[in-house]
Structure 1
Amino acid sequence: MTSLQQSGSKPSKFVGTNDLLDPMMRPFQGLKEETEQAREELNENVDTRVHQAMRELQIRHAQGRQFVDDPDRAPTGSAYQQSQQQLQQPYTTTAANNLNIAVKDTTDNDDDEEDEYWDSDQEDDPIWEAMRQRRLQEIQQAHQQKNQELALGHGQVRTIVEQEFLAECTGQSEWVVVHFFHNDYERCKVMDHHLQIIAPLHTSCKILRLDAAKAPFFVTKLQVRTLPTVMVFREGKSVARLIGFEGLTSPTKDPDAWKTSALQRWLAGAGAIQYKPSKDEEEEDDSSARRSNRVVHRGLVSTGLDDF
């Protein structure tokens, strides 16, 4: 029998069929077929099981268990409970806040109801009702009085001429303040500055300014010799006079640098306005500046308009 090596041909990849050997192999053909069928069934079972295992892994991964079925992640486990608490925390906080708001609203409503209860009790009290009516009447009267004062020219500093002086000082206004000024004097401008501040704050007093150079008759009659001079009239009669800045500032300070409150105190002392000084101003009243304040009342100097 000729071998492959002897033939010199290249080794064949497949072995040819030998008729002598076929009858001997035939008994094993059925076994081979059964083996292949079993192998196919095994492969199918393996594929099914692998598919099932992959599906279970996906489910476990989605549940956070990955490859281990951790009993601590069950509903009775600590990890599960902690996770649930974290999930519920925002809702719990919101619910608590809503509860607090509801309680506060209820408390506020109770307070309002209590206030209404007391208000209703006070309204039923005749004494309280009388006090309330009296207060309302006072407010209405004060409002009407202020409107009348504004209609008379109060609440501002107005410049008048000599011919208007008598009518302005003897008219319907009880209190009139007149500033005798001169346009060339800087201290008269300082006085104007402070009077402009005071006028809208104290509408019970009329504040005027008169050019001394254009009012020789009244300057002579009222003996106005120093400018600025501020005179206070009540019902047409001179009751107080301020010469220059006397008493408005401390002797140790700049004589032109003084507070508006100093002039307010002086006007209140003359009776022209209502003014309550602060504690600091009360201390200044005890100082040398307060003691040196000069207020010339009626009778010490020329009496004023009642001399005509």
Structure 2
Amino acid sequence: MEALIQQKVLEVANHVEKQLDAELEQLERLDTDDLEKLREKRLKEMKQIHHQKQAWIAAGHGEYSELADEKEFFEVSKKSKNIICLFYKDGSPRCKIADMHLNILAKKHVEARFCKLNVERCPFLTERLKIRVIPTIALINDSKTKDYIVGFTDLGNCDDFSTEMMEWRIAQSGAIMYNGDLLNPPEKGKKTPAIRSRNQKTIRGNNDSDSGSELDD
């Protein structure tokens, strides 16, 4: 069995080496004009990334902020494509735990807007989105709720989960960029319940099981 594994590892290593050799050979064939075009293309991509990042920061990305009320929530949903919003209640220890992790992730993932909203300030949204458990994190894309993290069940069903575990769970919805393994949680030693999608309703009151809950004021 061990010999078989070693053989497999060797085959993979050889395949990777051949790919690298092919790429190097391709680069060696490029003339000065080709290299200059490649450089210009890369510079253009870097500028686009920089401008996009600046636009995100201008829209409030890069920090974890508290929203005053439902009106501000709707305004944020119009400006940002991806939103991670914690619905919390004062005095909840688990909400403070979620706060800590989201604050860290907000600085790392500027491509999404991280925020929180006190459920006592948004009774309409709380009822419309059927939020029954605190904390609940709504994962929003294009003004529609795509997923929810309800309590800590999907995070290992414990209070001492890592920030990486929450990052992995949020990434399941596509709300943030993630380079890790989406199929396996970072904390493999702990049993993670299967993630189930739920049918939701639009805020206007219509059923919308395919695309989630529309966030329109």
- Shorter-chain TM range is 0.7 to 0.9
Tell me the residue number matched to 1:301: 200
One-letter identity of the residue aligned with 1:194? H
One-letter identity of the residue aligned with 1:165? F
Alpha-carbon deviations, 1:202-254, whole Å to 9, x = none? 000001100011211110111000000000111111111110011212x5xxx
- 1:136-151 counterparts in 2 under 5 A? 136-151=43-58
One-letter identity of the residue aligned with 2:200? V
- 1:104-115 counterparts in 2 under 5 A? none
Paired residue secondary structure (2:45): helix
Q: Percent identity?
A: 26
Alpha-carbon deviations, 1:73-112, whole Å to 9, x = none? xxxxxxxxxxxxxxxxxxxxxxxxxxxxxxxxxxxxxxxx
- Displacement after TM superposition at 1:293 (Å): 4.2
One-letter identity of the residue aligned with 1:269? Q
One-letter identity of the residue aligned with 1:301? Q
Match of 1:214 among 121, 127, 133: 121
| Structure with greater contact order relative to length (CA < 8 Å, sep ≥ 6) | 2
Under a length normalisation based on structure 1, what TM-score does the superposition of the two structures give?
0.53
One-letter identity of the residue aligned with 1:215? C
- Displacement after TM superposition at 1:167 (Å): 1.2
Q: Does 1:274 align with 2:177?
A: yes
Paired residue secondary structure (1:143): helix
1: CA distance, partners of 2:102 / 2:133: 18
Gap runs ≥5 in structure 1: 1-120
- 1:105-144 counterparts in 2 under 5 A? 125-144=32-51
Asked if 2 retains the 8 angstrom alpha-carbon contact of 1:247 and 1:289, the reply is no
Change in Cα spacing, 1:152 to 1:214, as seen in structure 2 (3 Å) is: same
Asked if 2 retains the 8 angstrom alpha-carbon contact of 1:248 and 1:289, the reply is no
Match of 2:136 among 212, 224, 229: 229
Moved runs in structure 1, 4+ residues, more than 6 A? 285-288
Under a length normalisation based on structure 2, what TM-score does the superposition of the two structures give?
0.74
Gap runs ≥5 in structure 2: 1-27, 202-211
- Displacement after TM superposition at 1:266 (Å): 1.2
More helix by share: 1
Match of 2:161 among 250, 258, 277: 258
- After superposition, the CA RMSD in angstroms is 2.6
Tell me the number of residue pairs that the alignment of Structure 1 and Structure 2 aligns. 179
Tell me the residue number matched to 2:149: 242
Change in Cα spacing, 1:283 to 1:294, as seen in structure 2 (3 Å) is: closer
Asked if 2 retains the 8 angstrom alpha-carbon contact of 1:123 and 1:129, the reply is no
Alpha-carbon deviations, 1:107-162, whole Å to 9, x = none? xxxxxxxxxxxxxx999522211111111111111111111100000011110122
